[in-house]
């Protein structure tokens, strides 16, 4: 059936996003902005860019 297969790939993609977010925080830096309100947005954008490159 397709249920376990879908859950497996959902877990794999979640793992990719989590590891890329951790990589952004550790290696690229996420809080070095002049506007502190944008730090969350910058973290999400950098993680999304790294995820797009990874996939």
Per-domain residue ranges for the chain? 2-54
The residue-averaged pLDDT of 2-15 equals 95
Give the pLDDT confidence score for residue 34 in this predicted structure: 79
Give the pLDDT confidence score for residue 46 in this predicted structure: 93
If you write DSSP's letter for every residue of the chain in order, what string do you get? -HHHHHHHHHHHHHHHHHHHHHHIIIII-SS--SSGGGHHHHHHHHHHHHHHHH-
| pLDDT at 31 > cutoff 90 | no
| pLDDT at 54 > cutoff 90 | no
17 confidence band (pLDDT: 50, 70, 90): very high
Whole-number average pLDDT of the chain: 90
């Amino acid at each position: 059936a397709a249920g376990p297969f879908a859950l497996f790939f959902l877990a794999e993609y979640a793992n990719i996003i989590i590891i890329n977010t951790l990589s952004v925080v550790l290696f690229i830096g996420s809080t070095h902005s002049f506007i502190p309100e944008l730090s969350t947005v910058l973290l999400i954008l950098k993680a999304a860019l790294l995820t797009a490159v990874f996939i």
